[in-house]
Structure 1
Amino acid sequence: MANVQMHAMRLFRELGYNATTVEQIAEAAEISPSTFFRYFSTKEDVVITDNYDPLLIAAFEDQPSDLSPLQAVRNAMISGMDDMSPDELETMRERNQLIMAVPELRGATLNNLIQTMQLLTEIMAKRVGRKPDDLALRTFAGVVVGVNISVMLYYAENPDKDFSKLIDEAFSKLEDGLLL
């Protein structure tokens, strides 16, 4: 999967997202188009699919129980990024810029973020002893996802910034009551 994504990102840089075909990606990765579709449902999925959710869950579950839910999520997200190699961070930056630049990718990412919101609701419910359909938990998860969206957009416009520091700063503002 990572090999296919690596070739896709290279082709997107060279040819542009819209000009790159699944067939070109498959050929570059030395697989058939049907094999491509075993890994990814659509061309958009090759950009938005990642392994961050399992890492987020593990990092969240490792957070001390005395932290507030917001502190636990914040620490989990930052620790996940701190564990990334420079190449992984660069790939994340490239993917983020592409997602924010291509309307089809923004739409596909929204679906992905809704799934992440549901996942956050479930792991938070377990942590605080509530049911996952609790409106407060869903609202909390929506706020966390909203912070991520705002930072992703800011980062796409300011790629020289440190994504981890931006996430930390955004959550800090939220924790302080987001005074404007």
Structure 2
Amino acid sequence: MSAPDSATSLRERKKIQTRTAIRRAAFELFTQQGYADTTIDQIAAAADVSPRTFYRYFGVKEAVLLSDRHIGPIVDAFAKAPADLPIIAAYRHAVAEVFGGLTPAERDETIAGERLMYEVPEARGLVYTEYVRLIGLIADALVHRPDAPSDPLERRVIAGAIVGVLISASHETPLPEESLAASLTILEGKLSVP
């Protein structure tokens, strides 16, 4: 491995560690004193970072509830899923691959964040924004799937259907692996009906 790759890898690991420390500190404070009564200054102090660092990683307090760490890997695994898998099966495969690779600590952090996300009304607008962003990412990734339509609107409709299933399976259910897989199987069956 070359030196620049090592430096980049170390830098990325440091970013992940800082982001994780901030989220863990925030979750602990939210549990102890409630979301509304927790300030960004308190979160930063508990995570041993400056408020400026908090803002660089999250921008607003509500964003600490969202974990977009899985979105990129799932979309990437979807684009690279075996070519013989139909579109929905490829997405189901990607979700299983990424969620299956979570450590127990990562799994606990994801569940805690998602649980709080559904409890905090201020986070709902961010959740909607993330779902819309995910539709775009999936539509873009469909370009790499051999059985995807060439029409951008058709790709966006398929991506919207996948995200609709995700919303349905995950609403107030943190990390809904089994129900999401079952829901995607239903969608796949309905899409394949002539």
> TM-score range, shorter-chain basis?
0.7 to 0.9
**Inter-partner Cα distance in structure 1 for 2:181 and 2:58:** 32
Q: Give the structure-2-normalised TM-score.
A: 0.81
**Inter-partner Cα distance in structure 2 for 1:124 and 1:80:** 18
1:27 pairs with 2:41: no
Considering only CA atoms, is the larger Rg found in Structure 1 or Structure 2? Answer: 2
Aligned residue number for residue 155 of structure 1: 173
Per mean C-alpha deviation after superposition, the further-off stretch among 95-104 and 68-77 is 95-104
Aligned residue number for residue 82 of structure 1: 100
Q: Give the structure-1-normalised TM-score.
A: 0.87
Runs of 4+ aligned structure 1 residues displaced above 3 Å come to 128-131
Segments of 5+ residues of structure 2 without an aligned counterpart are 1-18
Deviations 1:40-91 (A, max 9, x none): 1101111114311221133213311011111101110111111111221122
Task: Verify the 8 A CA contact 1:96 1:152 in the aligned structure 2.
Answer: no
1:39 pairs with 2:57: yes
Segments of 5+ residues of structure 1 without an aligned counterpart are 157-161
1:117 pairs with 2:135: yes
Aligned residue number for residue 98 of structure 1: 116
Aligned pair count?
172
Task: Verify the 8 A CA contact 1:26 1:33 in the aligned structure 2.
Answer: yes
How well do the aligned residues superpose, as a CA RMSD in angstroms? 1.9
Cα 1:62–1:126 change in 2 (3 A) is closer
**Inter-partner Cα distance in structure 2 for 1:49 and 1:167:** 17
Cα 1:145–1:40 change in 2 (3 A) is same
**Inter-partner Cα distance in structure 1 for 2:161 and 2:43:** 36
Percent identical among aligned pairs is 31
